[in-house]
């Protein structure tokens, strides 16, 4: 993509699934061409004091296009992703129209081509995300879709979920991803059902809504042999059940979002809709269980559930505002600050959760997630682990401003992002 332009990333510590070593990285024609010491020439990017890692991969991003371009577009979302160190994101299908149709998916892929981050499309499990009739999964698979989900909605009907899994089994690498919240139990609720919802008088969504669907879908994975992925796992019981399912050898995977390991339901005390999200922020015990699940390998990926909303939407009351919060530009720093610095995860484990494990789940491991080696695609991020910064909602690349972390001081920052050999972020600034 960079038309023969050569870049040398100098003075960093290369880290990928194979380990760490001090090395320079030479990039040309979209590929890594040389990893070694004392490399010079072309344009040089300083990586002293930094880690040079495979670009991050986010399994769960709402880009809002088509249908809600006031909140985010594929272009602004891709820029936010690049600033966050991501070189690939999986776009969720709850757009308007939804991604349940080959023409709409093809349009999203076309809009994403040439942006500052690779945009991978998911597609709906059911037509209109209505949970009744299966979407044309085979045709969508033919366009490259590997992750099917009705995200935002749970596939509540066990028979429909079973048929989706049986169909997915015939599509190598396809994953059926569930937004696990039983709608009958969660309906009318706006935050976690517990001590804080009682105190605030806000109707709650019980953790049991999540736990019931997780236990049901684990049994459906056992019944069908097809791969089930649990989006944004947030309850301690759900983590335990995923751990047990893996011990049974079932094809089950899970992701967790940064807000579910950094915030509790107490954050809703001020009735600020910035903290409203589905599934909701839960208890300290749930947060601790997510951390254990990330550390012991139960949870496969950190995924942001980046959910942009216009200021008007988030200025409504807590009960009227839509759920969701931004994630792309803070995910890595929150992981480093809240998990790596306190010793919950090693840096390599954190990068596994943010890069190569989600790349494998998304079916893009040949393009993203490393290793950083000659002949491999030059999709890289350079991380300064010591940089400290304060989240300023006014300076985000996202079109939206609904981060719950405004004013929070974080340690660790993406310095450069390289996409197919092109530096799309240099010294934390987007290049286009």
Q: Which is nearer to Zn ion, 12 or 77 (CB)?
A: 77
* 284-308 core/surface letters (b: 16 or more CB in 10 A; e: else): eebbebbbebbbeebbbbbbbbbbb
210 binds Zn ion (CB under 5 A): no
Q: Which is nearer to Zn ion, 64 or 179 (CB)?
A: 179
Among all chains, which residue has been given the structure tokens 């090395």?
Answer: 23
d(CA 91, CA 422): 22
d(CA 271, CA 97): 31
**Rule CB under 5 A: which of 230-289 touch Zn ion?**
231
Contacting Zn ion (CB under 5 A), which of 79, 179, 367, 415? Answer: 179
Q: Which is nearer to Zn ion, 118 or 151 (CB)?
A: 151
Q: How far is the CB of 217 from Zn ion (least distance, A)?
A: 14
Q: How far is the CB of 78 from Zn ion (least distance, A)?
A: 21
Considering only the stretches 39-47, 126-134, 151-159, 241-249, report the one whose residues sit in contact with Zn ion under the rule CB under 5 A: 151-159
d(CA 99, CA 121): 8
Residues in the chain: 432
Q: How far is CA 390 from CA 115, 326, 333, 396, 420, in A?
A: 27, 15, 10, 12, 29
Asked if residues 298 and 261 have their Cβ atoms less than 8 Å apart, the reply is no
Q: How far is the CB of 376 from Zn ion (least distance, A)?
A: 32
Q: Which is nearer to Zn ion, 168 or 213 (CB)?
A: 213
Contacting Zn ion (CB under 5 A), which of 68, 151, 210, 286? Answer: 151
Considering only the stretches 35-43, 171-179, 330-338, 416-424, report the one whose residues sit in contact with Zn ion under the rule CB under 5 A: 171-179
Q: How far is the CB of 325 from Zn ion (least distance, A)?
A: 12
Strands 301-302, 252-256: pairing kind: parallel
* 91-121 core/surface letters (b: 16 or more CB in 10 A; e: else): bbbbbeebbbbbebbebbbebbeebbbbbbb
Helix (H), strand (E) at residue 411: strand 409-419
* 149-188 core/surface letters (b: 16 or more CB in 10 A; e: else): bbbbbbbeeeebbbbbbebbeebeebbbbbbbbbeebbee
Asked if residues 419 and 113 have their Cβ atoms less than 8 Å apart, the reply is no
Q: Which is nearer to Zn ion, 92 or 382 (CB)?
A: 92
Query: Which residues are catalytically annotated?
Result: 305
Beta bridge partners of 231: none
Q: Which is nearer to Zn ion, 179 or 243 (CB)?
A: 179
Interface size with Zn ion, residues (CB under 5 A): 3
Question: How many Cα atoms are found within 13 Å in the side-chain-facing hemisphere of 247?
Answer: 7
Q: Which is nearer to Zn ion, 101 or 151 (CB)?
A: 151
Considering only the stretches 205-213, 228-236, 280-288, 333-341, report the one whose residues sit in contact with Zn ion under the rule CB under 5 A: 228-236
Considering only the stretches 34-42, 223-231, 317-325, 372-380, report the one whose residues sit in contact with Zn ion under the rule CB under 5 A: 223-231
d(CA 289, CA 284): 9
SS3 call for 186: helix
Q: How far is the CB of 278 from Zn ion (least distance, A)?
A: 6
Q: Of 357, 393, 432, 295, which Cα lies nearest the Cα of 58?
A: 357
Considering only the stretches 80-88, 177-185, 254-262, 403-411, report the one whose residues sit in contact with Zn ion under the rule CB under 5 A: 177-185
Strands annotated E in 257-315: 301-302
Q: How far is the CB of 60 from Zn ion (least distance, A)?
A: 7
Q: How far is the CB of 152 from Zn ion (least distance, A)?
A: 6
d(CA 265, CA 64): 26
Q: How far out from the chain centre does Cα 409 lie?
A: 22
Considering only the stretches 14-22, 146-154, 210-218, 285-293, report the one whose residues sit in contact with Zn ion under the rule CB under 5 A: 146-154
Q: Which is nearer to Zn ion, 256 or 381 (CB)?
A: 256
Q: How far is the CB of 81 from Zn ion (least distance, A)?
A: 18
Minimal CB distance residue for Zn ion = 179
Q: Which is nearer to Zn ion, 179 or 291 (CB)?
A: 179
Strands annotated E in 92-210: 118-121, 147-149, 175-178, 191-192, 204-205
Q: How far is the CB of 390 from Zn ion (least distance, A)?
A: 29
Contact residues for Zn ion, defined by CB under 5 A: 151, 179, 231
């Amino acid at each position: 993509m960079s038309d023969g332009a050569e870049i040398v990333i100098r003075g960093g510590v290369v880290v990928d699934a194979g380990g760490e070593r001090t090395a320079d990285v030479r990039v040309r024609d979209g590929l890594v061409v040389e990893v070694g010491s004392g490399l010079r020439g072309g344009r040089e990017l300083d990586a002293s004091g930094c880690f040079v890692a495979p670009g991050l991969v986010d399994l769960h991003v709402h880009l809002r296009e088509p249908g809600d371009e006031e909140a985010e577009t594929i272009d602004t979302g891709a820029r936010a992703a690049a600033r966050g160190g991501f070189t690939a994101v999986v776009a969720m299908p709850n757009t308007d129209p939804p991604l349940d149709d080959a023409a709409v998916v093809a349009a999203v892929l076309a809009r994403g081509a040439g942006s500052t981050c690779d945009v991978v499309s998911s597609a709906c499990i059911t037509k209109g995300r209505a949970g009744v009739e299966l979407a044309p999964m085979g045709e969508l698979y033919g366009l490259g879709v590997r992750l099917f989900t009705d995200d935002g909605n749970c596939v509540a009907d066990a028979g429909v979920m079973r048929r989706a899994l049986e169909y997915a089994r015939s599509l190598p690498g396809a994953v059926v991803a569930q937004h696990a919240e039983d709608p009958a139990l969660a309906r009318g609720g706006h935050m976690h059902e517990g001590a804080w919802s009682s105190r605030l008088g806000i109707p709650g969504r019980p953790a049991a809504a999540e736990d019931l669907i997780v236990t049901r879908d684990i049994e459906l994975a056992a019944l069908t042999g097809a791969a089930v992925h649990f989006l944004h796992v947030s309850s301690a019981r759900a983590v335990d059940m995923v751990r047990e399912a893996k011990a049974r050898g079932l094809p089950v995977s899970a992701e967790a979002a940064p807000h579910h390991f950094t915030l509790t339901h107490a954050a809703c005390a001020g009735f600020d809709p910035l903290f409203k999200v589905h599934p909701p922020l839960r208890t300290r015990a749930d947060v601790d269980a997510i951390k254990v699940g990330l550390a012991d390998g139960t949870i496969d990926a950190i995924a942001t559930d980046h959910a942009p909303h216009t200021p008007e939407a988030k200025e409504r009351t807590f009960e009227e505002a839509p759920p969701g919060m931004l994630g792309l530009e803070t995910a890595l720093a929150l992981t480093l600050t809240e998990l790596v610095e306190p010793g919950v995860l090693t840096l390599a484990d954190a990068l596994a959760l943010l890069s190569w494990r989600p790349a494998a789940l998304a079916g893009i491991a040949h393009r993203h997630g490393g290793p950083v080696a000659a002949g491999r695609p030059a999709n890289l991020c350079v991380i300064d682990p010591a940089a400290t910064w304060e989240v300023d909602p006014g300076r985000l690349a996202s079109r939206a401003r609904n981060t719950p972390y405004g004013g929070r001081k974080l340690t660790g920052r993406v310095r450069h992002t390289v996409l197919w050999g092109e530096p799309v972020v240099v010294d934390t600034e987007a290049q286009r």
